[in-house]
Structure 1
């Protein structure tokens, strides 16, 4: 059986690793030129996805790179009121540790034999058991797995569904080496997640393992053209920081100080999602994992679902090595239910974030009753 996986993200790599553990070969085709072609983003909260790492035989190595202190959380209102502070004891179990996405991806990549991941293979089209790449090359497959993210080139083989704008736009900024350059701000943010929720706007600061604090300014109830109309000059970092501070009008100076301290890396990101509960008729030769299958709001479930998708598809294929259509049906039946529930929960959290009293609602979510 020739298994072709398109995309070397967490889901695709988890699938390749579990298949390898069970003695099944696969090939991962990745459009990027190398693992270092671009940054991999910030920290991930890995909880349910730990099952996938156990199935992959990597859980001990995962715990070695995970940051238990990343479970710390502080929740505040824009006027500076501290609503919730959770500090993780040093001996606490690693129930929801944070890990750098790049470190987790490297862990998966390093667990695969040389040659499993084929870099520089951008998919052009797929049909009738043949992949055709942008460089003119081709490859054949019996089973094609789309692990190629939100803008999947494989998804159209199964469904007409496309990501739609969620009404949220994020500006990503950050402070490098914060303990040395801004120790006062480092102490304020703490070791994990620092979250300020206002009316239609949030600031999330996240401590990364390399000493950088990544900050996301989320603007809710905004349209697809918001970046063009926001007045943020992304080609002028100093002016962009000044404009972002203006948009935090009325917020406590400690929060605007975070923005002022950021470096010149300022990245706009529009948030899109697939329909909650998306399904499609089963095909024996094509399926999807991760964001290609169930892109949802970025509230902590996407990476976990992708890891589980890859691992559970790998286990289904290992259980039916001579009958991959049955394996695909079993995987999709479980995935539709599991990912659908995660997407519904993510949508509910998203509704809390856009509420006028978002901070208080989120406090009630974390401390029910």
Structure 2
């Protein structure tokens, strides 16, 4: 949202990207010359159709502190966006695509753990165009994507790229309205994502929303400048799960995210360096309690992943699924122990 870009601040290793090799002289016959414009025109037609179908479902959301984007979720006036777009606000002004008028909206609910929120138009106009949400589980690397939103306040803007990777677990930086969530299964895209794009739609060429544009990476060598072509979107499966619960009850009771059922705090070793997370309390009847974990235990490993900080624990759990089993390594009274835990579900 504006002002201030939401950006991934950790250093990222950048991999090269090359285009396909050019046609050889022997292949550049008359058939190749006639086929290329046809293919190009078809792709352009596909782009134009998707934009015409989906862009009317993408809106601009304005708060007292900035602006972002959103996606029309249903014909009742519900709009899904990022939690960091709404921030602490409860009332908003919403501009529909290709419209200069602003409509009043109020907060339905926010779920910062997945950086998602729903706002509702106070007086929904006729002809709202709810977006169609696709199956993010079927997203493949290399698929063409279009990112739609209001980058830098330029409403109804579209950029294009591909799906660069799937299944990314990304931790947002805190501050600037960002809840600092750790989100799993994110879609990485090369489509440009800039401040104001947050909450907008990442769309495939079938006209389906496969994600919500959420953040872009930062290249530390550019003094915090955006790393070109590295953006992340929350997958559609997470969007629909959270949005449906917020619309139904205003809260989330089944996030689809794995949980141990503990509250923790940082733990520092003898050299005053992060050395794990100390369990402060254990939820009665929860996964950790069932496995015999207790307050005072220090978790040092989840599966094969070393745990040194609260953030590393959150990241490890974000890559796992509720109901799966994992081995938790911990120390109690100076002795190292292990426990097999069947993970539960993180609620609100």
Superposition TM-score, scaled by structure 2 size = 0.25
Structure with higher Rg: it is 2
Which gives a bigger RCO, structure 1 or 2 (Cα 8 Å, sep 6+)?
Answer: 1
